[in-house]
Amino acid sequence: MSRDVRPLANVMAHDIWAVEFSHDRHLAKTAHFIATMAEARVASRAPAFVGHEALVCAGEAIQLQLAARAKLVELHERLQDVAGQVGVPEYAGSGGQKPEPGTPEPRSPRELEAA
């Protein structure tokens, strides 16, 4: 007898979407901070070299964030492949819709195992 993995898939889907949302928020905040640094230099009429190394460092940080996001996209694709292999339809746990940020989390894998 095979076990219904849809409740666990629901937990995993909720968590991956939460991680993706969090990464996008951090990207947006980092981009905003980079813009703030550049605007501050312009507003202060400081020479271009003032704060240049900090701006470069922030640019490197956002590149690393984008690399991490690319890995999350790859992970999501692999999880979708696994879901197909075990017969879980896409977005099975959410009625076909991604949960809104802040949606209460579904039961944890440990709670599902105990049930």
pLDDT tens profile 62-114: 999 999 999 999 998 888 888 877 777 665 444 455 666 666 555 555 555 55
- At residue 105, the pLDDT reads 59
Residues whose CB falls within 8 Å of the CB of residue 62, separated by 6 or more in sequence, listed in order: 27, 30, 31, 34
The pair of three-digit structure tokens given for residue 91, joined into one six-digit string: 């977005």
Q: How far apart are the first and last CA of the chain?
A: 17
Q: Report if pTM > 0.85.
A: no
The pair of three-digit structure tokens given for residue 48, joined into one six-digit string: 């271009």
> Which H or E run includes 40?
helix 6-44
> Mean pLDDT across the stretch 40-65?
95
- Of 89, 76, 92, 79, nearest in space to 7 by CA: 92
